[in-house]
Amino acid sequence: MSATSGAVARAARAARGALPHGQLLTPEVWARRHRGIVVLLWLHTAALAAFGVARGKGLAHSVSEAAVVAVFALLAAHPAVGRRARSAAAVLGLVTSSAILVHLSGGVIEMHFHFFVMIGVITLYQDWLPFGLALGYVVIHHGLLGTLRPIEVYNHPAAWQQPWTWALIHGGFVLAASVAYLVNWRLSETQATEISRLVSRLEGLARTDPLTGIPNRRVWDEELPCELDRARRMGTALCVAMIDLDHFKAYNDQFGHQAGDRVLKEAASAWWTQVRPTDLLARYGGEEFVLLLPTCALGDAIQIIERLRAATPLVTCSIGVASWDFRESPQALVERADQALYAAKAEGRNRYVTV
């Protein structure tokens, strides 16, 4: 019994894994699809009224039938209603359009195909709530109205006598026809997930120095202006440091480029452990690194800089530190730090200089 239960549980998990998850559409994609579906609802409103008149139902009767769909269209388009509620309103409008077509046609079997088409449209939402509403609507409509007004739902005696049986048959066919939609839905989700992961990975690569694993020049150029704006608004101190590994070219020439790469990686890793979570350490180019120290006065910055110098492996480093004056541009601030770095080198290296 336990083996059977385990097999059933595994089969159930496999089945759930094969089904789409739902609700993975981004707000932008959902909004585009929803707008198209709402337009389709309004087109149905006009078409139903015209079809009713053509079937001899009279203008008032035809318009009243179409007005039901119009109400759902209004709800689906209302901006104050939540996303899933708007989806549900649109879905109910679409399947109600199918039901009204069947009613106006006098239960002509071909009109039932409209339900199949609408199920395909509804899967564009890629959400189980609208999908389940549509399937439930088909069964309840065919069973309940098939019992109360059988000749307006079915056009053959067998269904008039057993409306709920035929309701389940119709629901089963709709569900079977939906398999292709579900497969496409699942594949679409899988593809979207893979694309999202690839984009995230590419974005990460575009913002990360491939050798050291720390942020690159691009991140620095994006973040520095933002941090200066924040410091200006809050009135907090901010410092920038330029860091250069001493005699790095000579080290490369003596020990080889692989050894030089190891120095770069180990230095970046060691420095990363010494900075605060709010600081930004980035590779600026070659053996030069930059450090952004927000909400940090010059005295505090010097303490952090000293920790970096002490943690530098294999070689020494020179550092130039500049405290922002709340007026200069990002480029001018970096230039001042760079000038301080050159001063540190000129004074013999393995030290820091502030400006």
Q: Which residues are catalytic?
A: 287
Q: Which H or E run contains 219?
A: helix 217-234
299-307 LR contacts (CB < 8 Å, sep 24+): 301/239, 301/241, 302/352, 302/354, 304/274, 304/275, 304/276, 304/279, 305/241, 305/352, 306/352, 307/274
Are residues 147 and 164 in contact, defined by beta-carbon separation less than 8 angstroms? Answer: yes
Phi-psi region of 247 (alpha: psi -120 to 50; beta: other; left: phi over 0): left
Contact partners, residue 90, CB within 8 Å, separation at least 6:
34, 37, 38, 41, 72, 73, 76, 130
- Got the DSSP string for 309-325? HHH--SS-EEEEEEE--
Q: In what order do the strands lie in the sheet with 352-354?
A: 280-285, 288-294, 238-245, 317-323, 352-354
